[in-house]
Structure 1
Amino acid sequence: MVGREITKDDNELIPKLRPQVQVRLADEAGGVAFIKTHNALLMDEGQPVINPAATAGAVYIVRNPLDVVISLSHHRGKPIDETIDFMACEGMRTVIGEKQVYEIWGSWSEHVHSWTRSPHPAIYVMRYEDMLAEPAKTFGGLARHLKMNPSSAELDSALEMSSFESLQAQEKEEGFRERPEAATANFFRSGKSDQWRDVLTASQIDQIVTKHAAQMKRFGYLPD
């Protein structure tokens, strides 16, 4: 779209071009294009970060911030205490790098609120914990959201091929291109819930709950 490499000086250019890029992706897909994003559902300099004109719908995965902080700490190669502050940073956005333009994440609470503040028929919200505890029910609902009607055997096969163990094996054999150099573990590191009970201190738990209580309550994440 620009005709050259994007640089760190192009911050003002990104908001204007991002919606156009999404339209182009949709036009060139020849069908539905599945795009993974870490962006919050916000406006950027008066422009939508997610262009509704080019978007048929969305699948939003929410996860307990008490576990997110552990995963993100490994992913970024940063201490947990620093990651707690990072996740509480309102309006947070990444920087332009060699492989991608900046993304707008906001805080964990901002991000969750932006995508789930009101029910929308085009947005399917699924909890990470339900993906683990009730995979057939959770992904069966996802399939119906995508206008698919898999048989039980087809759904079971898809779940087996995309299991965490299968992904770990693939990463071990072939690597994973999105694993950052700063990561202190494999990208597919654990795939479990409630790790925080054995990892976080009482003070760390209290900080996270204090900063994100409202959204945690909505999704059943407040500790007993």
Structure 2
Amino acid sequence: MKQRMIGVSSFVNHFVASRFPKSCPFILVCEFPRSGANWIRDMIGDALQLPVPRSSLLPITFSALVHSHFPQPVLKGRAVYVVRDGRDVLVSHYYKTLQTIRAGTPEQRRRAIKLHPSMGGVDGDIKLGSEIRAFYDEWKCRPLGSRVDWGEHVKGWLNAKARGVVVVRYERMLEEPNETLRSALCRLGGEDPNEIAIDFAVQRNTFESKTGRAPGQVDNNQNRRSGQSGGWREALPPDIQARFLVDFGDALDLVTAL
């Protein structure tokens, strides 16, 4: 019941941001699931000293940063859209689905197995094996946490070219966090951001400060797995890499061009 109420609240927040931007005091931070928006939202929130409410059961009616997975782009209000290489998203989604099935609530587990039945019988340590092929077939049709596939989600937001939407690429934030955060804040507010606030936000949200692990130290049982990008090269079998380019090559071109 609680999850359903949170979903309703998320829909209402997205609706208000899309239809009534002048009455919408919050900034919507949207992503396809597992693209890194929680991390980037927290950095922006720290830099702007805005709250980042989580799991709200009611619509947000104050200045804040609100997370969303909705595929419909916000055309009039302020929003941040976070994009990430879909192959890394796929790998991250795989492990997150396993975590949900093994440690989630009964309702979460039922939902995950309904969308990804291939994962229902996976036992032992969490590791990516041959079952990724069956998982990919499910993921590309209707993944856990999204109404549409990765390509449709990304193309919908990027092709809209909405004035109020600031696009942030996950990989660029990893490589140049201060510069990327500064650019996002300038586009959001139109003013020169406070450099001390930027340094504080970046340092407070490093992978090491949040996990106690150095980037590259992988823990597949955690939401923050590796703190790096490009892991798909070793994780995905060559045939899945090839299939991804066939299925989502046009969307991947949009992302890599940013």
| Same fold flag (TM > 0.5) | yes
Count of matched residue pairs: 180
2:192 counterpart of 1:156 = no
Identity between Structure 1 and Structure 2 (%): 23
TM-score (norm 2): 0.59
2:222 counterpart of 1:186 = yes
Amino acid across the alignment from 2:246: T
CA contact (8 A) 1:69 1:80 kept: no
Structure 2 Cα separation of the partners of residues 67 and 18 of structure 1 = 27
Partner of 1:80: 132
Amino acid across the alignment from 2:63: V
Partner of 1:115: 157
Partner of 1:145: 187
SS of aligned partner of 1:219 = helix
CA shift, 1:104, in A, is 4.2
Q: Which of 78, 88, 111 in structure 2 is aligned with 1:57?
A: 78
Query: Unaligned 5+ residue runs, structure 1?
Result: 43-49, 95-102, 171-182
2:62 counterpart of 1:31 = yes
The 1:60–1:32 alpha-carbon spacing in structure 2 relative to 1, beyond 3 Å, is same
Structure 2 Cα separation of the partners of residues 30 and 107 of structure 1 = 30
Amino acid across the alignment from 1:190: S
CA shift, 1:119, in A, is 1.4
SS of aligned partner of 1:61 = strand
CA shift, 1:193, in A, is 0.7
The 1:23–1:189 alpha-carbon spacing in structure 2 relative to 1, beyond 3 Å, is same
What whole-Å deviation, never above 9, does each CA across 1:57-108 have from its counterpart, x for those lacking one? 211111111111111111001442233223321xx375xxxxxxxx643010
Structure 2 Cα separation of the partners of residues 193 and 209 of structure 1 = 18
SS of aligned partner of 1:137 = helix
CA contact (8 A) 1:69 1:83 kept: no
Structure 2 Cα separation of the partners of residues 215 and 21 of structure 1 = 23
Partner of 1:210: 246
CA shift, 1:26, in A, is 5.0
CA contact (8 A) 1:26 1:33 kept: no
Amino acid across the alignment from 1:167: K
CA contact (8 A) 2:14 2:70 kept: no
Structure 1 Cα separation of the partners of residues 149 and 179 of structure 2 = 30
CA shift, 1:162, in A, is 1.0
The 1:132–1:18 alpha-carbon spacing in structure 2 relative to 1, beyond 3 Å, is closer
Partner of 1:132: 174
What whole-Å deviation, never above 9, does each CA across 1:135-169 have from its counterpart, x for those lacking one? 12211111113315333232112100011222214
Structure 1 Cα separation of the partners of residues 3 and 177 of structure 2 = 42
TM-score (norm 1): 0.67
CA shift, 1:19, in A, is 3.7
Aligned-residue Cα RMSD (Å) equals 3.5
CA contact (8 A) 1:72 1:83 kept: no
Amino acid across the alignment from 1:86: E
SS of aligned partner of 2:166 = strand
Question: Hey, which of these two has a bigger chunk of helix by percent?
Answer: 2
What whole-Å deviation, never above 9, does each CA across 1:153-210 have from its counterpart, x for those lacking one? 321121000112222149xxxxxxxxxxxx9510111121111122222111001111
